[in-house]
């Protein structure tokens, strides 16, 4: 999938979503072979594309020469790739796809690019900066698909999920039960822990991931 009509950029989000969609359609259409073929083709291309770097992290996209562009590692790209792998496993029974989803999850959890102090953290998310309105929702996407992976791997990620939920409830929740951008909380000087519907939605995905 191209990410734009001009067909100048291929990136992780468009292809992660496309794989998940095509595999999910196969899983819901009796007797389907068309969508399964598309899912397998897109997944195989994605895994071999170079967007997944040597550390098992998903960079943003490809250069014009089809090489990893070294773009920022965001949790939502990682999460969508995990979700795509899980759905391909459901569609095709591919043990390799499930193993890749687990590798992507393990890489995210162990990498300082996405996890700090045991908590999922974006590069824009610190006591001296804030994320934009899109970025505020990225971790919720990751947690949604990590929860999906957790459900098909016998709870392999339950501890990590519980850590996120515990921090949210204990450190990030205000008196109105609103959750902020930084899951570790709290406000910090001129950079308050922003709370809006986006941060709330993202936190709720984390709280639901264990169920």
Q: Are residues 92 and 186 in the same domain?
A: no
Residue 134 in tokens: 């899109």
Choose between 77 and 193: higher pLDDT.
77
Region 35-57: mean pLDDT is 97
Q: How far apart are CA 149 and CA 147, in angstroms?
A: 5
Domain count, the chain: 2
Q: Are residues 73 and 131 in the same domain?
A: no
Listed residues 78, 113, 148: the one ending a domain = 113
pLDDT averaged over every residue in the chain? 94
Confidence (pLDDT) at 186: 77
| 115: β partners | 120
Confidence (pLDDT) at 130: 79
Q: Are residues 88 and 163 in the same domain?
A: no
Choose between 37 and 194: higher pLDDT.
37
In the block, which residue shows the tokens 């895994």?
Answer: 47
Confidence (pLDDT) at 191: 75
Q: What is the pTM of this model?
A: 0.95
Listed residues 113, 143, 171: the one ending a domain = 113
Choose between 131 and 85: higher pLDDT.
85
Listed residues 85, 113, 141: the one ending a domain = 113
**Phi/psi at 134 (5° precision):** -70, -45
Residues of the domain holding 156: 117-211
User: Angle, to 10 degrees, between the axis of helix 138-152 and the axis of helix 75-92?
Assistant: 30
Query: Per residue in 84-127, pLDDT tens?
Result: 999 999 999 999 999 999 999 999 999 999 999 999 999 998 76
Q: How far apart are CA 128 and CA 119, in angstroms?
A: 17
């Amino acid at each position: 999938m191209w990410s734009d009509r001009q067909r100048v950029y291929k990136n992780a989000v468009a292809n992660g979503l496309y794989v998940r969609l095509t595999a999910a359609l196969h899983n819901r259409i009796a007797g389907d072979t068309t969508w399964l073929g598309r899912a397998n083709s897109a997944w195989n291309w994605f895994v071999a594309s170079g967007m997944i770097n040597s550390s098992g992290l998903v960079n943003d996209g490809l250069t014009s020469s089809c090489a990893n562009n070294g773009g920022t590692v965001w949790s939502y790209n990682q999460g969508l790739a995990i979700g795509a792998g899980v759905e391909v496993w459901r569609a095709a029974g591919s043990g390799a796809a499930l193993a890749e989803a687990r590798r992507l999850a393990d890489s995210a959890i162990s990498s300082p690019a996405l996890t700090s102090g045991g908590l999922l953290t974006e590069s824009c998310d610190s006591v001296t900066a804030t994320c934009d309105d899109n970025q505020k929702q990225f971790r919720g996407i990751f947690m949604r698909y990590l929860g999906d992976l957790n459900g098909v791997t016998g709870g392999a990620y339950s501890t990590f999920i519980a850590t996120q939920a515990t921090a949210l409830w204990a450190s990030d929740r205000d008196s109105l039960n609103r959750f902020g951008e930084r899951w570790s909380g709290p406000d910090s000087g001129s950079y308050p822990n922003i709370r809006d519907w986006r941060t709330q939605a993202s936190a709720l995905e984390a709280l639901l991931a264990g169920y």
